[in-house]
Each structure stands twice: as structure tokens, then as C-alpha cells.
Amino acid sequence: MPTVIVPGGATLWYRTSGTGAPLLHIHGSAFGHRNFEKLTPHMARHFEVIDFDLPGYGESHGGQPLRSMDDIAAQVHLLILALGHQKVHIHGTSFGAMIALTLAAAHPEVVDKLVLSCFLARYDNAARMMRSTWKQCARDSGMPAVADLTSVAGFARGFYDRPEAPAQLASMREAFSHTTPEAFIAGTETIERTDLGPLASRVARPTLLLAGAEDNMTPFKPSGSGIGFEQIRQLMPDNRMVVLPECGHYLVIEQPERACAEIVGFIQGAQ
């Protein structure tokens, strides 16, 4: 099982798939690397895909608690260097997109092209209320119950009519069970403290903004207390916006083939 120990003592598990230019996936909160289990097989036909777990998620553990988005992004930067890459493409989703944007602003030299899917640069009060119920659920009922609760906001309504929905929900419960409640709550509280609006204009790397039309978790247009894709696409200097129809927040699970096609077209398109 390949791991990297980064300064601070954290042991980060990672896995590579495929060949080609390196593409680093940064997962959302609760999932760990299995956030991309539907997408990675498609992406590995085009890239060397690097999946990993943040500390407290999946197979990674140890290290000092990370209390800011800057600290988490710095740890991902150390992972990239430890793997011997000078520059990588990055796809972050949800919480992972916030980390990826922070990393691209702080260390643009290691980022080639950037894909940010399904996130808010600043959570509005409705999203904070939603997250507060998830934190309480993690404390009281455990992470498999959090999987069910987040799925209500995470999938498009039509997803539940698909024959594979029950198996996917069972897979999510199992994946979430490998994340500690403490790591999930700490990550959520980091999200709640973060405002990436000022950083967005500093990201000079070509960026794909990938959204789900039915994303109720991180909506395209949040209330006035938040910053969503509607504002982000105006703040970032070099971006392309794609909205996938009939798709929710978990677009890498709901529509992996379509997400792959959009990402590959963006990264391998004209410079």
C-alpha cells in the first residue's frame, strides 16, 4: 500500500492509475478517494490519475489537526512534491475544489490546468444550516448515517429512479464508514470558516468550472450570504463554465462518462 509521510507526521495513502500526464483528484468531505471510484476508470484512459486520502479519511491517518484551508492545501502541495511531480493537472470536487483553488492561488507553479466541480467559494447561511445537521448526525449516529443524509441534497431527483441507486447508496455508506467523525466535523468547520472570494481572482491557471444543474448542496446561485458559480465565473480570470443537465452535486458519481468527456476535452484542448 503506497503511502507518503509529509512534514507534520501525517501518513497519506495514494494510488495511481493509467498513464500519461499526471492528474491529481482531491476528494470532497466524508468520501475519501472513493469519491472518484466511478470517474477514475474513465480518466485513467487518458492520464496518470492520482487518488489519495486526506488525513482521517480512508487509509490516511496521523499528523497534527489542520484548522485552515491553507494548511490543507499546503499538505497537498507537499504530497505533489513527494511524488516527484513538478506540475500536475488538478480536479477537486466540493471540499476538494476549495482545497484545489487555495492550492492554485498559493502554488501556481505546480498546477497545469485546474478543474473545480460543485463547490461554493463561501457558504451561505442555508448551506451552513445544512452542514450543522450533518455534524450533529456524525456525532450522534455515525458516518454511514451521514451518507444517507447528504445523499438527499447530493443527488438529482431522477437518480433515485435508476436501478443502480440502491447499490450506490450502499457503497457510499461503506466509504463514509472509513472516515472518522472527527475528520468530517473538522473539515466541515474549516469550510464554514473559509471565504475564497478574494483568492478566486488570483488563480491564473486555465480553469474548468463544472456544475450540476440540480445541485442543491452547493447551488449555482446561493443566497446573498454565499458565493457560488454565478459569481466565481466572474471572479476567475481564465475559466470555462459547463453545467451538466439532470445532475446533482455528486456529478462524478451520477454522470462519470460525461464528466470525463468535459474534463478531457478541456485539458487536452487547445492551449
Q: What is the pLDDT of residues 32-72, one digit of tens each?
A: 999 999 999 999 999 999 999 999 899 998 887 778 999 99
- Name the β-bridge partners of 25: 91
Q: Which residues of the chain have pLDDT under 50?
A: none
How far is 56 from 29, CA to CA, in rounded Å?
Answer: 10
What pLDDT score was predicted for residue 269? 87
From the number of C-beta atoms within 10 Å of its C-beta (0-12, 13-18, 19+), residue 187 rates as buried
Residues 216 and 153: beta-carbon distance below 8 Å = yes
Residues 175 and 147: beta-carbon distance below 8 Å = yes
What pLDDT score was predicted for residue 69? 96
List strands edge to edge, sheet with 239-244.
3-5, 11-17, 48-52, 22-26, 88-93, 111-117, 207-212, 239-244
Degrees to nearest 5, angle at CA 156 with 128 and 252: 85
Q: Which CATH class is domain 3-268?
A: alpha beta
What pLDDT score was predicted for residue 270? 59
Residues 31 and 179: beta-carbon distance below 8 Å = yes
What pLDDT score was predicted for residue 147? 97
What pLDDT score was predicted for residue 212? 97
Q: What is the DSSP letter of 227?
A: B
Greatest CA separation for the chain? 50
What pLDDT score was predicted for residue 67? 80
Q: What are the CB-based long-range contacts (under 8 Å, 24+) for 267-271?
A: 267/21, 267/23, 267/47, 267/89, 267/112, 267/113, 267/115, 267/208, 268/46
What pLDDT score was predicted for residue 45? 97
